[in-house]
Amino acid sequence: DAGITQSPRYKITETGRQVTLMCHQTWSHSYMFWYRQDLGHGLRLIYYSAAADITDKGEVPDGYVVSRSKTENFPLTLESATRSQTSVYFCASAENYNEQFFGPGTRLTVL
């Protein structure tokens, strides 16, 4: 089915470990985004990509790395996880900068 998927849906890891969250979309949307959602903060943009091989920082990029070698995939890596990175992570895609379509989210807990 067409859409946007994220994996894993739930992840528990330990401080200092590297974690990669996967995002895959089947619409061939140009734009892809990574957000984190925390109580009291709303959705905050971590990184975005306007096309394959083009990425840029959002509001809270520190501690995260992204890549976009293929249009459909946009993985997010936490290089050395910290407790403050415990959050719900949403990937989104869009053909333009108006309507964004969100994936189901990944709940990450860093112990």
State the Cα–Cα distance between residues 31 and 94, nearest whole angstrom. 5
48 near another protein, judged by CB under 8 A = yes
**62 or 99: CB nearest another protein:** 99
Stretch in the footprint of another protein (CB under 8 A) among 18-26, 66-74, 78-86, 94-102: 94-102
1 near another protein, judged by CB under 8 A = no
The separation between the first and the last C-alpha atoms of the chain, rounded to the nearest angstrom, is 35
**15 or 97: CB nearest another protein:** 97
